[in-house]
Amino acid sequence: MKQYLSAVERALAGGTYKPNRTGVDTISRFNVGYQIDLEEGFPLLTTKKMDGFRWRSMIHELLWYLSGEAHIRELREKTGIWNEWADEDGKLDTAYGRFWRRYPVPELEQQLPGESWPDDAHRWVSTETQDGETVRTFDQLQYVLDTLRESPHSRRLVVSAWHPSNAAVSTLPPCHYTFVFNVQGDRLNLHLTQRSGDIALGIPFNIAAYALLLKIIAQRTGFEVGEFGHTIVDAHVYCGAGERGAWYDENLEALQDRLAAVDKADGYLQVREWVEENAPEEAEGDDQLDHVPGLLTQLSRTPMSRPSVSVRDVPLDELTFDDIELHDYESESGLSFGVAE
Ligand SMILES: Nc1nc(=O)c2c([nH]1)NC[C@@H]1CN(c3ccc(C(=O)N[C@@H](CCC(=O)O)C(=O)O)cc3)CN21
Ligand SMILES: O=c1ccn([C@H]2C[C@H](O)[C@@H](COP(=O)(O)O)O2)c(=O)[nH]1
């Protein structure tokens, strides 16, 4: 997918060196965005292998968001991608589905005069009991589904996973934290805003998951699939820990001069060779925390034609793994990248 490769190129060629809380340094660029027309096929990357276990992990992750669960007790049976951020009991501090499906509504005594809030009987409000207390929650996805059917030209079709006071103390506040649906003609579009994006590992999953969500919601509301727009505020490439990461601080200009001089795709392989010959080896245990070589390999590859996806047309809450199928997918070989924690 050329949009992804362009994002990789923009981050590497125009980014700055940026250490961060993980201890694995990054080359980071502000405000990387693109638009992908889903009518031209499903945007699963083909410049590395994304079917098999990666595709399965992505589907299970999306189904977990849709479930509204705040824990990963079922998800971790299917994929390990969220295990590092949960405790033994499966509790996870990062609220995605929990806020998509059950966003907290302030209790009566917390509401300020003059504010408007839905009452308990409102169709998108549910009450649940937690430790003997009744709490009220709001189903943002059901709001979107119903409003798309009843008032499709609404410009308020926003879903938010961001709760400021929760985010301030959460160990890992949501990265992809808000998305908006938008109808144009008979097509449904979705725009995602992501505050922080790991270009090599997280972003391919994020693109696929939201493209799939768009397809599912379009199908349920009778629209054609339109475009996926994606804005990544801090779009970064992890470039290694310790001396390996620090090497990029010293050599970023040289790397960027080389990238600027590349005139055809296989030129990226020469840049990769230059990195491998000159950068210090990654320390033991730090395998592939430097994502630059793998991304240069991807830049040297030509995207193949996009696959398609079919989804059985069942109500959102009945959707299961077996309802989703990938067709006509061909890709280059797999690449593995280490996860910065
Ligand atoms: N540094 C970092 N990058 C991320 O992308 C990320 C986080 N942290 N923390 C929370 C979640 C978890 N996400 C992850 C975590 C791991 C993989 C990963 O290891 N992907 C492998 C396949 C692993 C599998 O399917 O079992 C890959 O090759 O894509 C992907 C997304 C996305 N998020
Ligand atoms: O869906 C996701 C979830 C996480 N990420 C990445 C983005 C960052 O590299 C880390 C989160 O670290 P912060 O310090 O909280 O920004 O995880 C992603 O790309 N996609």
- Tell me whether residue 128 is in a domain: no
Cα 131 to ligand 1 centre (Å): 33
Q: 326 in ligand 1 pocket by Cβ < 6 Å?
A: no
Q: 82 in ligand 1 pocket by Cβ < 6 Å?
A: yes
Mean pLDDT of 153-168: 96
Which among 199, 205, 287 is the best mutation to test ligand 1's pocket, defined by most ligand atoms within 8 Å of the CB?
Answer: 205
Count of domains forming the chain: 1
Q: Is 18 helix (H, G, I), strand (E, B) or coil?
A: strand
What angle is formed at CA 227 by the lines to CA 124 and CA 327, rounded to 5 degrees? 95
Which among 84, 192, 198 is the best mutation to test ligand 2's pocket, defined by most ligand atoms within 8 Å of the CB?
Answer: 198
One DSSP character per residue, 91-133 reads BBS--SHHHHH-EEE--GGGPPTT-----TTSTTEEEEEETTE
Query: What radius of gyration, in Å, describes the C-alpha atoms of the chain?
Result: 21
- Tell me whether residue 223 is in a domain: yes
Task: Give me the CATH number covering residue 323.
Answer: 3.30.572.10
Q: Which amino acid is at 257?
A: D
76 annotated to bind ligand: no
Q: Report the alpha-carbon distance of residue 262 to residue 271 in Å, rounded.
A: 8
Here the tokens at position 339 are 């996860």
Cα 198 to ligand 2 centre (Å): 6
237 annotated to bind ligand: yes
- Tell me whether residue 333 is in a domain: no
196 annotated to bind ligand: yes
Cα 128 to ligand 1 centre (Å): 32
Q: 96 in ligand 1 pocket by Cβ < 6 Å?
A: no
- Quickly count: other Cβ atoms within 10 Å of residue 114's Cβ: 5
Residue nearest to atom 20 of ligand 1 (CA): 201
Q: Report the alpha-carbon distance of residue 3 to residue 43 in Å, rounded.
A: 10
What is the per-residue pLDDT across 252-304, written as a single tens digit (0 to 9) for each? 999 999 999 999 999 999 999 999 999 999 999 999 999 999 999 999 999 99
Alpha helices in 161-291 (DSSP H): 164-169, 202-221, 242-261, 267-278
Q: 60 in ligand 1 pocket by Cβ < 6 Å?
A: no
Note the pLDDT of residue 187.
Answer: 98
- Tell me whether residue 131 is in a domain: no
What is the per-residue pLDDT across 54-95, written as a single tens digit (0 to 9) for each? 999 999 999 999 999 989 999 999 999 999 999 999 988 888
Note the pLDDT of residue 175.
Answer: 97
pLDDT at residue 134 is higher than 90: no
Note the pLDDT of residue 118.
Answer: 92
272 annotated to bind ligand: no
- Tell me whether residue 108 is in a domain: no
Instruction: Give the ligand 2 atom nearest the CA of 94.
Output: 3
- Tell me whether residue 121 is in a domain: no
* Range of the structural domain that residue 70 is part of: 2-102+139-327
Q: Are 37 and 227 in contact (CB under 8 A)?
A: yes
Mean pLDDT of 120-136: 90
121 or 331: which leads in pLDDT:
331
Note the pLDDT of residue 8.
Answer: 98
What is the per-residue pLDDT across 162-193, written as a single tens digit (0 to 9) for each? 999 999 999 899 999 999 999 999 999 999 99
Q: Report the alpha-carbon distance of residue 322 to residue 266 in Å, rounded.
A: 39
Taking the model in full, what pTM does it have? 0.97
Q: Percentage of residues in the chain with pLDDT exceeding 70?
A: 100
Q: Are 175 and 152 in contact (CB under 8 A)?
A: no
Note the pLDDT of residue 236.
Answer: 98
- Tell me whether residue 118 is in a domain: no
Note the pLDDT of residue 130.
Answer: 82
Q: Percentage of residues in the chain with pLDDT exceeding 90?
A: 93
pLDDT class for 233, splitting at 50, 70, 90? very high
- Tell me whether residue 253 is in a domain: yes
C-alpha distance from residue 275 to each of 33, 247, 256 (Å):
27, 10, 12
pLDDT, averaged across the chain: 96
Q: Are 327 and 307 in contact (CB under 8 A)?
A: yes
| 321 CB-contact burial (10 Å; exposed 0-12 / middle 13-18 / buried 19+) | exposed
